[in-house]
Homo-oligomer: A and B are copies of this chain.
Amino acid sequence: MPAIDATDEFETLDRLFRPLAHPVWGRDLADDVGVVPSRPGHDLVLTKDAIVEGVHFLPDDPLDLVARKLLRVNLSDLAAKGAEPFGYLLACHWSSRCGWPEREAFAAGLAEDQATFGLGLIGGDTVSTPGPASFSATLLGWAPRGGIVGRAGARPGDLVLVTGSIGDGGLGLQAAQGRLELEPERIAALAAHYRLPEPRLAFGAALPGHAHASADISDGLAADAGRIAAASGVAIELDLGHLPLSAAARAWFDSRVDPEAALSFLATAGDDYEILLTCAPSAEAALMRAAEGLHLRLTTVGRVTAGQGVTVRLGGKTLALDRLGWRHG
């Protein structure tokens, strides 16, 4: 693999990243800064997540997929707040394995998801590190003024809903690591979910006015429910009997001898990047209609009560989870 010397950070910028610049606000990446004009009636919503090789992605993951996952885990945060993304800043901490072909693949992945999600590159930095590669992105989006859905708004009496299916991220990691015994097409589907989550931006746009609280599920359903409960000063009860499973996760579940342990794993495994929300019972139907219009599964998995913490039930029995979820260190 070719060594990249310091000078090549200029060439990386010129050759690979300048073509990705936002046509106006990125200033051709020639100015150390991006400039975003104020948009009357709107708030700017910002989020910044980092990913590390060997922790958040696998050392042999293709870098185009790593780049797309980096954007998507951040886009997922914007989606859960009902914000509309438009741009990002990027920091690449390249390892010695990141020669030209790998950097080109990374830029190609960015270009693909820029087109998919309507993003432009506003600025950033590329550096090299003697350690494993890591990356961070600062994603920017617009929301109508005062309109984002926070984590702290859940109220006793609310229902708890999730988009999509739960547990595919956790199973997908095992699938990508070759640690799962399932049919090859199931393995492929789960690994693809782990490597390339789908931020729920279109559904997120339907949240304002209907949801009281929402967040994306990155650390596991139970853990992220716990964070909504803590921020809102309420308790949340989850019923694992209602956990929405993908066909692949259902096939895995059917192969397990201990259904409680299996569902507990799925509810705590993380990397789902689905939206977890609470709403008044009267808003459930409108949200269901919005999801149906997007051909997106939306499932009521629990309810909000007075109190604190998360309770997980299955068939009327309360489960004691070893841990609520996994926070990537």
Q: A-side interface residues toward B, CB under 8 Å?
A: 4-10, 27, 30-52, 54-56, 77-78, 80-81, 83, 89-91, 93, 95, 122-125, 127-132, 134, 136, 138, 140, 143, 145, 148, 150-152, 215-216, 227, 231, 326-329
Contact = CB atoms under 8 A, between A and B. Distances in A.
Residue from A31, A41, A132 whose CB has the most chain B CB atoms within 10 Å: A31
Residue from A44, A152, A216 whose CB has the most chain B CB atoms within 10 Å: A44
Interface of A is mostly: mixed
Contact of A31 (B52, B93, B122, B150): B150
B45 A34 contact: yes
A268 to B, nearest CB: 13
Contacts of A6: 326-329
A87 to B, nearest CB: 9
Given A127-B134, A136-B125, A329-B6, A33 B52 contact: no
A123 B48 contact: yes
Given A31-B81, A31-B150, A36-B46, A91 B89 contact: no
Contacts of A125: 48-50, 136
A328 B12 CA distance: 13
28 contacts: A6-B327, A9-B328, A27-B150, A30-B151, A32-B77, A32-B81, A32-B151, A33-B45, A33-B47, A33-B148, A35-B45, A37-B145, A38-B41, A40-B40, A44-B44, A46-B122, A46-B123, A46-B140, A50-B93, A50-B136, A51-B127, A52-B93, A55-B130, A91-B91, A95-B131, A127-B329, A129-B134, A130-B131
Contacts of A124: 48
A287 B13 CA distance: 32
A39 B78 CA distance: 21
B30 A91 contact: no
B48 A38 contact: no
Given A27-B150, A30-B150, A50-B91, 14 more contacts: A31-B150, A31-B215, A35-B44, A35-B46, A37-B145, A47-B123, A48-B91, A49-B91, A93-B93, A127-B134, A128-B329, A130-B131, A131-B134, A134-B134
A328 B44 contact: no
A32 B145 CA distance: 18
A327 B6 CA distance: 6
Contacts of A152: 30-31
A43 to B, nearest CB: 5
